[in-house]
Amino acid sequence: MQFTTAKQMERLDELAVANGLEIRQMMELAGWHMVELFRTLKIKKTARVVAVAGKGNKGGDALSAARHLVNHGYKNVAVVLISSKLKPDPLHHLRLLKKMKTPTISWTEGAEAKSAISKGDVIIDGLIGYHLDGAPRGVFAKAIQSINQSKATVIAYDLPSGLHATTGKCYEPCVKSLATLTLAAPKKCFRTLTGKRHSGKVFIGDIGIPLFLYRQVIKNYKPIFKPGSGLVQLEK
């Protein structure tokens, strides 16, 4: 199995969009795979689930997941928003959640947001993705600290926030997750000792990128996903 750098993932995303795939569409698939992962991990539908979402695409993945989880019978799903200035695609998913009357708490509400995180049984890390190049700062650092201080089962989207996608360096602070749902392809960080410690069980989710695009970015690329399976566990 080939592992990708942050630059390769950025290029793969660019090619996907240039060839007609929409970010919003890929977020839908990311959200659906989180439902599959919850089933794989046997998370009860009564669990208090908190999706902690940043303003970018990783935040959009978490918001999409929150909606799909509600649709599939998870009774206690809430969202903590780290920023009110979401990009258009994450904003689309937030608007749908609000129409569904899913509880949404802003980080600016302070104690209420921290309380929601501390009381969660499962936390979805939707904060910082593979573009990270330096220690998380400000509200993102505080949110990561709150996640790590909780007793919840933490599931990271793509890679734990605070982990460098290529080198596996864990900046301070860095989310420590029980499981990670990485998208499209595994990142090089999952081969490092620190990456393994912080990522837990790693699952790869198919977001619909065609094989010919993978092969433009990854030399001698071999398909990960088999027919009928869009979620694959990475062997350690």
Could you give the angle at the alpha carbon of 120 between the alpha carbons of 115 and 124, nearest 5°? 110
CA 71 distance to own-chain centroid: 19
Domain spans of the chain, in order of start: 6-233
206 annotated among ligand-binding-site residues: no
Contact 74, 49 (CB under 8 A): yes
Share of the chain above pLDDT 90, in %: 95
229 annotated among ligand-binding-site residues: no
The β-bridge relationship of strands 122-126 and 48-53 is: parallel
205 annotated among ligand-binding-site residues: no
Share of the chain above pLDDT 70, in %: 100
131 annotated among ligand-binding-site residues: yes
Cβ neighbour number for residue 110 with a 10 Å cutoff: 10
The β-bridge relationship of strands 231-233 and 201-205 is: antiparallel
In the block, tokens 């009357």 appear at 101
Encode pLDDT of 179-208 as tens digits.
Answer: 999 999 999 999 999 999 999 999 999 999
Topology (CATH) of 6-233: Rossmann fold (3.40.50)
54 annotated among ligand-binding-site residues: no
Encode pLDDT of 6-25 as tens digits.
Answer: 999 999 999 999 999 999 99
- Asked if residue 54 has pLDDT above 80, the reply is yes
Q: How far apart are alpha carbons 176 and 180 in whole angstroms? A: 10
Report the candidate in 8, 65, 89 with the shortest Cα–Cα distance to residue 79. 65
| pTM for this entry | 0.97
Q: What is the mean pLDDT of residues 135-157?
A: 98
125 annotated among ligand-binding-site residues: yes
230 annotated among ligand-binding-site residues: no
134 annotated among ligand-binding-site residues: yes
Q: Band of the pLDDT at 110, cuts 50, 70, 90? A: confident
164 annotated among ligand-binding-site residues: no
